[in-house]
């Protein structure tokens, strides 16, 4: 339960604390060093709130202008964080200092920006599906950094060794590296498609042209609790805003005993994010 002393709270904070009911409460950090994981997601909720406000002002979620405003807001927020200098990048999120744990950029803004980049890398819908899957799998328990990263690796649109290695490098830069002061060359080098910085795809890790994404292997999802089936009408995902056709369909898995318990308790993931359709 979250209580606000005095009964007043700004909306950003409400979004932040509400997000903690899933990230921090339902799926708790596996240890002190994982504080960044939940605070990053709670900070991401603040960015999403501001993006949603921009979207509404520009025409709403059903308007192309509204959706563009949503994305532009996230892109702007990422750029503002990514250009930080000074001591912003000097603390590794997964190796926190006790005296800056709940006040430092390495706990809040840096991991939030990492999640924005991750959303661009694996695609907006896949990102939401990955989060929902983590809730189903780890709800009521804890998650380690390795488990968190593995969960996102499974949703990479290109399941090649070089793309997995690049995503591992991405996690290492954003979560585990302490840089020298100053920013610029002393900050993560891998970002996401459409964002400030060098992006993600390139070199040996490339997205295949739409409709011929043979690199997306069915084994990618065969290990997931989401059921898969071949389908003549292959579904699409949109990594980084681009649309790619998957050679199979994804549908919601049959409920597990744990997910039935969760439903009885009245918890559910906000929005219909739990499957690719
Ligand atoms: Zn928090």
Question: What is d(CA 197, CA 148) in angstroms, rounded to the nearest whole number?
Answer: 24
Under 8 Å CB-to-CB from 3, ≥6 apart: which residues? none
Query: Measured in angstroms, how far is the CA atom of residue 17 from the centroid of ligand 1?
Result: 6
Res. 180 pLDDT band, cuts 50 70 90: very high
Tell me what pLDDT residue 104 has.
Answer: 86
Task: Give the residue-averaged pLDDT of 110-139.
Answer: 98
Query: Measured in angstroms, how far is the CA atom of residue 159 from the centroid of ligand 1?
Result: 33
By the 8 A CB rule, do 116 and 192 touch? yes
Q: What would be the CATH architecture of the domain defined by 9-208? A: Orthogonal Bundle (1.10)
Tell me what pLDDT residue 170 has.
Answer: 98
Asked if the model's pLDDT at residue 29 lies above 70, the reply is yes
Query: Measured in angstroms, how far is the CA atom of residue 131 from the centroid of ligand 1?
Result: 17
By the 8 A CB rule, do 167 and 154 touch? no
Percent of the chain with pLDDT over 70: 74
* Angle ∠(113,127,230) on CA atoms, nearest 5: 160
Asked if the model's pLDDT at residue 123 lies above 90, the reply is yes
Query: Measured in angstroms, how far is the CA atom of residue 145 from the centroid of ligand 1?
Result: 18
Query: Measured in angstroms, how far is the CA atom of residue 48 from the centroid of ligand 1?
Result: 15
Query: Measured in angstroms, how far is the CA atom of residue 75 from the centroid of ligand 1?
Result: 22
pTM strictly above 0.85: no
Tell me what pLDDT residue 239 has.
Answer: 39
Asked if the model's pLDDT at residue 20 lies above 90, the reply is yes
Res. 272 pLDDT band, cuts 50 70 90: very low
Domain ranges of the chain: 9-208
Query: Measured in angstroms, how far is the CA atom of residue 6 from the centroid of ligand 1?
Result: 18
Q: 62: which 2 tokens?
A: 């059903």
Tell me what pLDDT residue 210 has.
Answer: 58
Tell me what pLDDT residue 98 has.
Answer: 82
Q: pLDDT tens-digit profile of 49-92?
A: 999 999 999 999 999 999 999 999 999 999 999 999 999 999 99
Query: Measured in angstroms, how far is the CA atom of residue 270 from the centroid of ligand 1?
Result: 18
Cα dist. 204→120, 151, 219, 223 in Å? 18, 22, 21, 25
Task: Give the residue-averaged pLDDT of 1-29.
Answer: 89
Query: Measured in angstroms, how far is the CA atom of residue 250 from the centroid of ligand 1?
Result: 33
Asked if the model's pLDDT at residue 266 lies above 90, the reply is no
Q: pLDDT tens-digit profile of 185-239?
A: 999 999 999 999 999 999 999 987 754 433 343 333 333 333 233 333 333 444 3
Query: Measured in angstroms, how far is the CA atom of residue 13 from the centroid of ligand 1?
Result: 9
Res. 1 pLDDT band, cuts 50 70 90: low
Q: Where are the beta strands (DSSP E) in the chain?
A: 27-29, 141-143, 228-229, 236-237, 244-245, 249-250
Asked if the model's pLDDT at residue 115 lies above 70, the reply is yes
Tell me what pLDDT residue 232 has.
Answer: 33
Question: What is d(CA 242, CA 175) in angstroms, rounded to the nearest whole number?
Answer: 26
205 phi, psi to nearest 5 deg: -110, 95
Local structure of residue 245 (DSSP, 8 states): E
Task: Give the residue-averaged pLDDT of 141-168.
Answer: 97
Q: Is the dihedral of CA 72, 78, 82, 83 positive or negative?
A: positive
Asked if the model's pLDDT at residue 147 lies above 70, the reply is yes
Mean model confidence pLDDT for the chain:
81
Query: Measured in angstroms, how far is the CA atom of residue 123 from the centroid of ligand 1?
Result: 25
């Amino acid at each position: 339960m979250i209580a606000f002393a005095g009964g007043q709270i700004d909306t950003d904070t409400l979004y932040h604390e509400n997000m903690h009911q899933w990230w921090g409460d339902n799926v708790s950090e596996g240890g002190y060093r994982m504080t960044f994981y939940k605070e990053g997601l709670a900070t991401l909720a603040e960015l999403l709130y501001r993006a949603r406000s921009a979207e509404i002002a520009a025409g709403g979620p059903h308007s192309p202008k509204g959706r563009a405003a949503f994305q532009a807001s996230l892109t702007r927020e990422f750029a503002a964080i990514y250009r930080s200098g000074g001591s912003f990048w000097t603390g590794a999120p997964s190796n926190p200092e006790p005296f800056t744990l709940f006040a430092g950029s390495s706990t809040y803004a840096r991991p939030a920006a990492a999640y924005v980049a991750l959303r661009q890398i694996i695609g907006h819908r896949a990102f939401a599906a990955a989060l929902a899957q983590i809730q189903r799998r780890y709800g009521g328990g804890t998650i380690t950094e390795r488990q968190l990263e593995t969960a996102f690796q499974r949703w990479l649109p290109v399941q090649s060794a070089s793309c997995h290695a690049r995503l591992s490098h991405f996690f290492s830069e954003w979560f585990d590296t302490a840089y020298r002061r100053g920013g610029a060359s002393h900050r993560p080098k891998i970002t996401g498609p459409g964002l400030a910085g060098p992006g993600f795809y390139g070199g040996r890790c490339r997205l295949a042209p739409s409709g011929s994404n043979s690199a997306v292997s069915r084994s990618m999802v065969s290990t997931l609790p989401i059921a898969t089936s071949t389908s003549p009408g292959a579904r699409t995902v949109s990594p980084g805003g681009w649309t790619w056709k998957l050679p199979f369909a994804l549908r919601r898995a049959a409920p597990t005993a744990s997910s039935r318990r969760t439903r009885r308790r009245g918890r559910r993931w906000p929005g219909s994010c739990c499957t690719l359709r």
